[in-house]
Amino acid sequence: MVVEIQSLRRWARHVPIYGIGAVALVVLTAGAAFRGYATNHAALRGAAVTRGHPADSVADGQRIFRFDTFGDEQFWTDTLHMNQVVEQSVDPTTALAVGLKVDADVLPPGILQKVDLKSPATTVALLKMNAVVGIQATVDSNNHITHLGITCAFCHSSVDNSVMAGIGHRRDGWPNHDLNVGGIVALSPVLSAVQKAVYESWGPGKYDPRYNLDGKNGALVIPPAYGLAHVKNETYTAEGPISYWNAYVAVTQMHGHGNFSDPRLGIAVTQSPDLVSPKLAALRAYQHSLAAPPPPAGSFDAVASGRGRALFGRRCISCHVSVTGTDNNSGKLHAPAETGVDGAYAARTATKAYRTTPLRALWQHAPYFHDGSAATLADVVTHYNAVRKLGLTAAQQHDLVEYLKSF
């Protein structure tokens, strides 16, 4: 059955469709489906990759990633009334507690020492100066929020906490695992108790990008959006390239004003004007320019990592192949039973299977696997040692973990 735009609008009135966590570049790729990787993983980190993309294209993509709502204010304001919720109930302390981030580079010097962090009026002021990462708001002369929308950066940017927890310099592409997407959405006054319970069940750092389409609940870990330049398909289930997923999220999740179609999922949305499609190329160029952050100095045992690298080359590299780190670049997918991960989410997708996830900046984005079921890299190794019958001793597992920390 084709889901036409009229149907989406009906659902927006009766069963609100929430899609922030997988935000425009959601690129459902994170987690660490530890099945191998390239031995030369330093090449994948490297410097920002901009070859093939003019500098102005990358700059435009950055602007889109950080500040473009694709016209989704009509949903977050007119349908969910989140402008009223924020203006009346969300003070900066509460905002930081649910994982929202503040761009310190926008703040006037010393402003935090002069304002009331327990007052929603301060949040409005921060929005007015465009300091809240991933949220765009229009504030009138009476300091009322008239329009409010979200951008890709809402879920896929963080800050370095250089001022205080939640306030610092932007880190685009870093998954915001502090962000309680469901908890924020559950503040909307138009939700039923049943709907609120679903959103509140997700917890920080997770989001379900299918719930609005199939009514099932199974939140995924918000993935990183860096280190994608060498990867063909950027989702857990490899349904399409980066611009496919950007369009999917922008239209069906963020509720931007644009076009998206996938007959495999029974979705066909056409809106005029299309505020999404013309921006996808520049957005992709910027995302491809985001290099994975290297591990902090001293964060892993270099000697043990060397031993782990040898183990990795013998046990894991058949799936995490070459510099791309994934056999999905050659079109391969894996049934859930192959890797012992839960198959519920895959069953809700077009491919019904999972791709091998490239291993990049693993030190930075725990928990692992699509559903966050592995809290640590040690848990990942333990899981695959059992499921794949690797026969690793405790010492070897330790060495392999140290090597994974080096990505």
Which has the closest alpha carbon to 295: 3, 15, 21, 45? 45
Q: Which two tokens stand for residue 395?
A: 């010492």
Which has the closest alpha carbon to 132: 179, 76, 183, 182? 179
Encode pLDDT of 224-274 as tens digits. 999 999 898 888 999 999 999 999 999 999 999 999 999 999 999 999 999
Amino acid identity, residue 61?
Answer: G
Amino acid identity, residue 389?
Answer: K
Amino acid identity, residue 249?
Answer: V
What CA–CA distance (Å, rounded) separates 79 from 14?
Answer: 10
pLDDT of residue 52: 55
DSSP letter, residue 291: P
pLDDT of residue 134: 98
Strand-pair partners of 148: 137
DSSP letter, residue 376: S
* H helix intervals, 316-359: 336-339
What region does 298 belong to: left with phi over 0, alpha with psi -120 to 50, or beta? left
Which has the closest alpha carbon to 344: 369, 327, 320, 376? 369
Compute how many other C-beta atoms are within 10 angstroms of the C-beta atom of residue 165: 11
| Virtual torsion, Cα 33, 36, 38, 39, nearest 10 deg | 130
Which has the closest alpha carbon to 287: 225, 364, 200, 234? 225
Q: What is the radius of gyration, based on Cα positions, of the chain?
A: 21
As a three-state string, the secondary structure of 29-86 is CCCCCCCCCCCCCHHHHCCCCCCCCCHHHHHHHHHHHHHCCCCCHHHHHHHCCHHHHH
pLDDT of residue 344: 97
What CA–CA distance (Å, rounded) separates 341 from 372?
Answer: 11
What region does 52 belong to: left with phi over 0, alpha with psi -120 to 50, or beta? left
What CA–CA distance (Å, rounded) separates 238 from 232?
Answer: 8
Q: Which residues of the chain have pLDDT under 70?
A: 1-53
How is 149-160 classified by DSSP, letter by letter? EE-THHHHEEE-
What CA–CA distance (Å, rounded) separates 145 from 125?
Answer: 10
Strand-pair partners of 167: 102, 164
Which has the closest alpha carbon to 191: 16, 368, 399? 16
| Virtual torsion, Cα 180, 181, 184, 188, nearest 10 deg | -150
Q: Which residue has the tokens 């040692």?
A: 385
* H helix intervals, 201-267: 211-214, 242-248
Three-class secondary structure of residue 207 per DSSP: strand
Which has the closest alpha carbon to 82: 191, 157, 6, 156? 191
pLDDT of residue 113: 87
pLDDT of residue 218: 96
Encode pLDDT of 169-203 as tens digits. 999 999 999 999 999 999 999 999 999 999 999 99
